Amino acid sequence: MEIHQLRHLLAAAENSSYAQAAKRCFTSRQNVAHSIKAIETELGIALFERHGNEMVLTPAGQQLAGEAREIVTKVDGLHVMFAGPDASDQTLNLAVSTNLFAGISLGTDEYIAQHSDRLRVSEMSCEDCYRSVCTGKADVAVVMCMERKFPDCDVLEMGEGSVSFALTSAASPLGRKESLSVMDLKDQKLLLMSEPVFQYAPLFAQLDSLGFDRANVSVIPSTSSMIHVVKRSGGTGIVSDKFSVAPPAGFCAIPLSDPRLNWHFYILFQKNSASFRSIAKFAQGIQGTF
């Protein structure tokens, strides 16, 4: 079993199509099919079954895909780690997700600031960061979101996810709780940093199953504006763990108890980019601050 076969497997799983997987991997549909067949023969299991026009993982395929994703992620991490200290410091187009700097550590913030002379930084939604890397508009992106996949680009996760917090008035009923579940949020007016579908997918998968009304969502990308809205109109903001240290007077930051809702920090890039060695050197530095 070879690493390119695992990449073909993951691409097919994420796109539910051998043809789309081939486009993602810059190869032919026949090569993807051959890789899948080779793995199936080697392990003696069926990886996919057809549902209509889609290829869907079997239970055994789901288990293998989970293991394969960890292997591929570690291999990609090695490519970044050993890209070489002699990589050039060419200027990179860096996309950062909205309010990233309110969630990252001081060390990460300082690292980006120290290298500002070779970075053209654009702040945008988490989804737009992803799309910008996929289309080549950005060389690299650093994003903060709840756990998710990025099927059309290469990904490096930086450490473990940090706990998400709910920012609310200390006088509210929620303010008296030590931790919150999704059930506690289902009747709240939620204040988010960006549109919910992409950055908060695990949260809304659960809220939607509880009948949550998405009309009760407001997108407020500024934390200072979020604090103002909570103070004037009530509601609950979803914020990073920085607010747990010293929330503003009259407010409290309560941890969300479900680890599926933790914040994760990802570096997004294209390994086949002409700027990869510079991207890798930048990624090494970012990783070193986590």
Q: What average pLDDT does this structure show over 259-268?
A: 92
Give pLDDT, residue 175: 87
Is the pLDDT score of 85 beyond 70? no
Q: Spell out the alpha helix ranges (H) of the chain.
A: 3-15, 18-25, 29-43, 59-81, 106-114, 126-135, 182-185, 196-199, 201-209, 223-233, 276-287
What is the longest distance spanned by two Cα atoms in the chain?
63
Q: What average pLDDT does this structure show over 166-180?
A: 90
Q: Per residue in 208-231, pLDDT tens?
A: 999 999 999 999 877 788 888 888
Q: Which tokens is 289 given? A: 């601050």
Q: What average pLDDT does this structure show over 7-31?
A: 86
Give pLDDT, residue 51: 85
Sorting pLDDT into bands at 50, 70 and 90, what band is 83?
low
Give pLDDT, residue 198: 92
Rounded Cα–Cα distance for residues 177 and 165 (Å): 12
Sorting pLDDT into bands at 50, 70 and 90, what band is 115?
confident
Q: What average pLDDT does this structure show over 10-28?
A: 85
Sorting pLDDT into bands at 50, 70 and 90, what band is 205?
very high
Q: What average pLDDT does this structure show over 125-148?
A: 94
Q: Per residue in 29-46, pLDDT tens?
A: 899 999 999 999 999 999
Is the pLDDT score of 238 beyond 60? yes
- The whole-chain average pLDDT of the chain stands at 87
Rounded Cα–Cα distance for residues 18 and 219 (Å): 37
Give pLDDT, residue 164: 92
Rounded Cα–Cα distance for residues 278 and 284 (Å): 10
Is the pLDDT score of 257 beyond 80? yes
Is the pLDDT score of 235 beyond 70? yes
Rounded Cα–Cα distance for residues 24 and 32 (Å): 11
Give pLDDT, residue 24: 78
Residue appearing with tokens 């053209």: 120
Rounded Cα–Cα distance for residues 132 and 93 (Å): 10
